[in-house]
Structure 1
Amino acid sequence: MAGLGRPRGERQAGNGLGSVLDVLLANARLVLGVSGGAVLAIATLAVKRLIDRATSPRDEGDPKAEQKTLEESWQDLALIKATPKPPKKQRREDLSQPLLPPVQPPAPETPQVKSICLTLQEKLLSHYSSWLAVPEVQVSIAPQLARSIGTQLQNFLWSKCPEMPFGRLFLSGPLLDGLGALAADHIHLMLPVVLDTALWSLIPGEDTVVRNPQYWLIKRTDLEYFPRGCSPWDRFIVGQYLSSNVLNETLHKMLVASINWPAIGNLLGSVIYPVVASQELRLEVKHDQVELSITLFPVVEMEGKVLLAVPPEGLVENLWLESFYKAEVSKVKELDAADAGARQHCLRILNGICKSHPALHKLSGSPLTHVILHLSATSSDWAEESLADRFQQVLEELVGYLEKGVLPSYFNCKINLFSELLEEEIDEMGFLLYRAISEPELLLREK
């Protein structure tokens, strides 16, 4: 994204640097010759574009100009990286060699686009089978071990806090839903918080000081008729709201200090320990055949919303994050079932690429799913034979959303799924994906 306009002195310094580049380019032609000078000119032109764009004032009232500047920056960077090397200087011993290679008969013309798509299709399928398959032993052991740990935790909560109406724990995550797991190493353990709807109501986050439609407040109602103490969850109230932060702190103390994990680990043939120095409610599990990370999420399902006790960073501690994960998985599978599509296949490949690539890590999960759901509304051909075409189209859509800095949620267009990304992260992702549009194999290379 374009930066703020620089002071006049800095712009003059940029112009001076451009003049130096012009002088260097003129002298280079004498040394490198015409062809070498042309190659250097391409790279110099790209560098001058970047310098001019960085030092020129920006029209702050024109968002289209800002988007165009970002896209041109990615194009110029791609031009620099694609600049060919200058030809080698001819050696004396090479003079005896023929100047031109022997004439070869022209190769028969082939449909180049079809060949490229077929090659990419094969590479995608090979990448999927070679890198994204989770070992069967992990697929069977990890969920079973997580369920056993969940059962032990459930029994503890019911015996330690019988007055708290916790629902029955259940598992969630890519390993169980089959949309993104590279290994059976992470599972979500969902802990339902059962509320009396007559005593609690939801307040949209966009109606509060945070102005964020993805967060909600859970407000205690009718305190004049049903005073504090009528609900077992009143002990977690801050102001008039059920505090996700206070609930997490209470559960964290239980996980760390109250539960005998060594004994439970011996019972299950594992070593289990809670992560103390973390705001997450997380357990690390070591088994002889799998190492597993289990994250506990208190969850409220109310008024058609699924809310997680994941408050944003900062001073606001009462907020609950709306989760669309269940709706995402259900919608993708529903669309694939209707047309025998390859959306899940494409999503697994993209999730695997983004999770293994440091620059793209934050795109995995929900952002990719929502891009595919948006694309499904306009592209109907999701057959497996079209996997390569849809893969490239998803890359193009991602670059477009990154240019704008906005990825609207498929289920609520007011929510921007890129709102937590930094400008530097968007620039790095955009440049990499812009190059991958013309050379998607870049993303499939081993890291």
Structure 2
Amino acid sequence: MAEFTRQRGKRQEDNGLGSVLDLLLANARLVLGVTGAAVLAIATLAVKRLIDRATSPRDEGDPKAEQKTLEESWPELALIKATPNPPPKQRREDLSEPLLSPARPPVPGPRVCPAPPETPRLESSPPRCLTLQEKLLSHYSNHLSVPEAQACLVLQLARSICAQLQNFLRNKCPELPFGSLFLSGPLLDGLRALTADHVHLMLPVVLDTALWSLIPGEDTVVRNPQYWMIKRTDLEYFPRGCSPWDRFIVGRYFSSNMLNETLHKLLVASINWPAIGSLLGSVIHPVVASQELKLEVKHDQVELSITLFPVVEMEDKILLAAPPEGLVENLWLESFYRAEVSALKELDAGDSGVRQCCLCILNNICKTYPALHKLAGSPLTHVILHLSAASTDWAEEDLADRFQQVLEELVGYLERGVLPSYFNHKINLFCELSEEEIDEMGFMLYRAVSEPELLLTEK
């Protein structure tokens, strides 16, 4: 009962204090105006809170109560100090005079030299938040450009090595009808390359079409439409030895693995790379442990990796000697790279589009994040080509929309675990990905769909 009475008396005191403050604020509105009264109200409210805490009873036995009260008062004190002084207003006795009264002549006083005018300070404006469109264009222009001098040096080195290797093969294996070596890759094919540190070296394998035929991928042992087999035909009439490539036959099929092993031995053991490197001012050595036919080139200004691919062109197919990992050694991988480059260029030329720009940005992102490495290259290209068939507007101002749409399409393909090739819908470009890899990619891209800017953050 006593506690109830004490609390009730406290509320009455608070009501009395509130009435006084309300009256004060009401009169202040007349004297100070709306702005001045608002400022006074803020300060008065802060003082009232201080008075409330000072008069409120503290819990007995709580040694931190006083400290807590003081700590809670710092915001109010800071509020009072930070409250700007209201502009001077006319006094109450001046309210009868017109607000716009004529200026009174100044009272003459001692002459004071005027102070020099202060130099105006330029306040730095806060940084402007960039849109996704601006971030993408900035990322493309600032982070994905290869210096022209570096690109020229890389191409010069690659062409010189290509010529040296061509001469060696003609002298060492004159019986094998290799075609003229040529360079390939984004740096050569007009696509804007991410870096100037990798070039493909294509080695044509010339076959007599009367002695060889292609077996579709669906009819091979792996049942994968992207892997073909090259079969030796008419052995009854044209026995072994009629074709210079018969030495690479395994079970009547041209073995891509056997050809690669022969070339690997030549690269590692037969070619005098130190002499060629000194001639070119570089250090060249083959990668012994790699299953790929790869050369590493170190120059004073650049480091270059060259990968050699034997390639067969038959029946409008481009087949690489790049069999899948495993015991199957007679398979040839169908390559769509040339068709991909041609399709992207034609589409962009037709509507001044930014498909190649979008692809370059996405490739860089996939190479930046290890979880997305296997999406770079052909998978991204085929997603953009599929999307181009549905969304025909690829102008520069729509880059952000198309970029986010590609991410959404990728998530959808990963959810299904199937990305059909643009040129052959029977081919699933995700067929060699594991469930764990698909889940990791899908989770990362699913998060990026709502915040695509996260992918542009440099790690």
**Given the two structures, how large is their TM-score scaled by the length of structure 2?**
0.73
- Structure 2 counterpart of 1:263: 275
Q: C-alpha distance in 2, partners of 1:159/1:168?
A: 14
Contact 1:311-1:319 at 8 Å conserved across structures = yes
- Which of 309, 316, 338 matches 1:297? 309
Q: C-alpha distance in 2, partners of 1:337/1:277?
A: 43
- Structure 2 counterpart of 1:340: 352
2:222 counterpart SS class: coil
Whether 1:149 aligns to 2:127 is: no
- Which of 210, 217, 230 matches 1:205? 217
Contact 1:181-1:352 at 8 Å conserved across structures = no
- Structure 2 counterpart of 1:432: 444
Q: For residue 318 of structure 1, what is the amino acid of its counterpart?
A: N
- Structure 2 counterpart of 1:43: none
- Structure 1 counterpart of 2:207: 195
2:424 counterpart SS class: coil
- Structure 1 counterpart of 2:187: 175
- Structure 1 counterpart of 2:72: 94
Unaligned runs of 5+ in 2: 1-67, 83-127
- Structure 2 counterpart of 1:246: 258
Q: C-alpha distance in 1, partners of 2:217/2:403?
A: 35
Paired residue total: 346
| CA offset digits 1:144-184 (Å, max 9, x no partner) | 11011010000000111111100000001122224363211
Q: C-alpha distance in 2, partners of 1:308/1:123?
A: 38
Q: C-alpha distance in 1, partners of 2:72/2:298?
A: 64
2:390 counterpart SS class: coil
Q: C-alpha distance in 1, partners of 2:151/2:400?
A: 28
- Which of 152, 164, 176 matches 2:176? 164
TM-superposed CA distance for 1:260, in Å, is: 0.5
TM-superposed CA distance for 1:138, in Å, is: 1.4
Q: For residue 344 of structure 1, what is the amino acid of its counterpart?
A: Q
Q: C-alpha distance in 1, partners of 2:387/2:307?
A: 31
Q: For residue 246 of structure 1, what is the amino acid of its counterpart?
A: M
Q: C-alpha distance in 1, partners of 2:191/2:170?
A: 33
- Structure 1 counterpart of 2:434: 422
Whether 1:401 aligns to 2:381 is: no
Q: How does 1:72-151 map to 2 (within 5 A)?
A: 93-97=71-75, 119-151=131-163
Unaligned runs of 5+ in 1: 1-90, 103-114
Q: C-alpha distance in 2, partners of 1:288/1:168?
A: 29
TM-superposed CA distance for 1:287, in Å, is: 0.8
> Percent identity at matched positions?
82
Q: C-alpha distance in 2, partners of 1:94/1:141?
A: 68
Q: C-alpha distance in 1, partners of 2:261/2:76?
A: 79
Q: For residue 196 of structure 2, what is the amino acid of its counterpart?
A: A
Q: How does 1:303-382 map to 2 (within 5 A)?
A: 303-382=315-394
1:97 counterpart SS class: helix
1:347 counterpart SS class: helix
- Structure 1 counterpart of 2:18: none
Q: For residue 281 of structure 2, what is the amino acid of its counterpart?
A: G
2:187 counterpart SS class: helix
Larger RCO: Structure 1 or Structure 2 (Cα < 8 Å, ≥ 6 residues apart)? 1
2:231 counterpart SS class: strand
- Structure 2 counterpart of 1:31: none
Q: C-alpha distance in 2, partners of 1:332/1:320?
A: 25
Q: C-alpha distance in 2, partners of 1:310/1:275?
A: 17
- Structure 1 counterpart of 2:230: 218
TM-superposed CA distance for 1:428, in Å, is: 1.3
- Structure 2 counterpart of 1:276: 288
Q: For residue 127 of structure 1, what is the amino acid of its counterpart?
A: H
Q: For residue 394 of structure 1, what is the amino acid of its counterpart?
A: V
Q: C-alpha distance in 2, partners of 1:98/1:138?
A: 63
Of 176-185 and 157-166, the range deviating more from structure 2: 176-185
Q: C-alpha distance in 2, partners of 1:423/1:174?
A: 30
| CA offset digits 1:332-379 (Å, max 9, x no partner) | 001001111110111111111111111111111000000000000000
TM-superposed CA distance for 1:250, in Å, is: 0.4
1:377 counterpart SS class: helix
Of 129-138 and 213-222, the range deviating more from structure 2: 129-138
2:179 counterpart SS class: coil
TM-superposed CA distance for 1:328, in Å, is: 0.3
Q: C-alpha distance in 2, partners of 1:421/1:296?
A: 24
Contact 1:180-1:365 at 8 Å conserved across structures = no
Q: C-alpha distance in 2, partners of 1:376/1:94?
A: 61
TM-superposed CA distance for 1:98, in Å, is: 5.5
- Structure 1 counterpart of 2:12: none
TM-superposed CA distance for 1:221, in Å, is: 0.4
Q: C-alpha distance in 1, partners of 2:431/2:323?
A: 15
- Structure 2 counterpart of 1:15: none
1:174 counterpart SS class: coil
| CA offset digits 1:114-153 (Å, max 9, x no partner) | x99x711110011111211112221111111101101000
Q: For residue 336 of structure 2, what is the amino acid of its counterpart?
A: F
Contact 1:300-1:306 at 8 Å conserved across structures = yes
**RMSD after superposition:** 2.0
- Structure 2 counterpart of 1:11: none
Q: For residue 437 of structure 1, what is the amino acid of its counterpart?
A: V
